[in-house]
Amino acid sequence: MRVLAALSGGVDSSVMAALLLDEGHEVVGATMKLWGGESDSGCCSVSDVEDARRSAAQLGIDHHVFNFSDEFDEYVVNPYVASYANGRTPNPCIECNRRLKFDVLLRRADMLGFDAVATGHHARVHVMADGSKRIARGHDSKKDQSYVLYPVTSSDLERVLLPIGEMTKDRVRSMAAELGLRTAPKPDSQDVCFITKSDGREAFLAARTELHQARVVDSDGVVVGAVDAIEMVTIGQRRGLNLAGGSEPRFVTDVDVSTSTVTIGTRRDLMTDVLVLDQIVWAAEAVTGQVMVQCSAHGTAEAALITDAAGPSDGSVTLRWMEPHRRVAPGQSVVMYQLVGGRELGEPPAATEVVVGGGIAR
């Protein structure tokens, strides 16, 4: 098989390419040049492109750099800024996967005659009983990245490979060391690639949109304080609200940019039993019934029930939590999982948690 290996300059993608070579595939490395500005997060920087190039050279494979910076600005950076300006909390890494890695890059691979695209994500491709494919959680639960891959559909997975999904991170690093890859000790990238640690999110947004002061009110509408930038406030936030001491912790329960109002309340006020999702993407067919729901990249999945017809005409789904749950910030990605049975050759039956869909919290 002729495979285009997406090399980010990290250890996971380097080992991914090595595994593909061991399996006998014809492998060509490709690095996407996405962010043209300053970066210190260990992702998308000039040094990452160089690390990818050198890893490819060590593995003896060709390496190309694709400049997708215009698409990155259009589909990731600009919507990120617009979301915060509208009081929402976006997940740019998911949009990068949706719009770049598993759209623009896939189309480029098709144009160049590749059979598949491979990435170094810690997730697996699970084959269902009917032969269709789903994203499944990676073997290393601490590094699982299935959450950020929810927009990848069953049809996309026909030409996507995730070779390290069955490996632990420790094994990935030890294999990189055995191969003498320069990326073996490289730390993981954890942050948004275009937000620098030195300047932070507020400086990034302030350079691209106007930030506005807002009043802070309690659940009765009484003004109790103010914030310098409502665009920096998110649901569930407790710190940075400039509030006088109270008898119990207070959290942000609502952000209304149109009226420049931040509402706070107690932990009890922060809880809800309903969550509405928009822009639903189903892995294949729509599902009904109970699902496990994850609301952040490193969060714990919790049980919820789909209470309306899955996939209504307006593209939304309503979930009812089995237990009261903290409010999810509007704009945050929410991913739904279900357990499915499976059997590997020579192994007893096993249950696998697969992505069945996801959407954006309303």
DSSP string, 292-334: EEE-STTPPPEEEEE-S-SS-TTS-EEEEEEEEEEPPPTT-EE
Between CA 325 and CA 337 the distance in angstroms is: 17
For residues 6 and 30, is the Cβ–Cβ distance under 8 A?
yes
Considering the domain delimited by 211-265, tell me its CATH architecture: Roll (2.30)
> Mean pLDDT, to the nearest integer, of 318-339?
96
- DSSP reduced 3-state for 282: strand
Give yes or no for a contact between 134 and 283, defined as CB atoms under 8 angstroms apart: yes
CA end-to-end span of the chain: 42
Burial of 101 from C-beta contacts in 10 A (0-12 / 13-18 / 19+): buried
Q: What is the pLDDT of residue 313?
A: 54
Confidence of residue 314 (pLDDT cuts 50, 70, 90): low
Which residues carry out catalysis?
Answer: 96, 193
Res 254: pLDDT: 97
Question: Would you state the pLDDT for residue 258?
Answer: 96
CB 6 within 8 A of CB 105: yes
Query: pLDDT tens digits for 100-140?
Result: 999 999 999 999 999 999 999 999 999 998 999 999 999 99
The conformation of residue 245, written as its DSSP 8-state character, comes to P
Residue 242 host element (H or E)? none
Where along the chain do its domains lie? 2-120+162-179, 211-265, 271-361
User: Residue 32: its pLDDT value, please?
Assistant: 95
Q: Is 210 exposed, middle or buried (0-12, 13-18, 19+ CB in 10 A)?
A: exposed
Give the architecture (CATH level 2) of 271-361: Beta Barrel (2.40)
| Superfamily classification of domain 2-120+162-179 | HUPs (3.40.50.620)
Token readout for 303 is 């049980």
Give Dmax over CA atoms of the chain in angstroms: 68
Whole-number average pLDDT of the chain: 92
Predicted TM-score (pTM) of this structure = 0.93
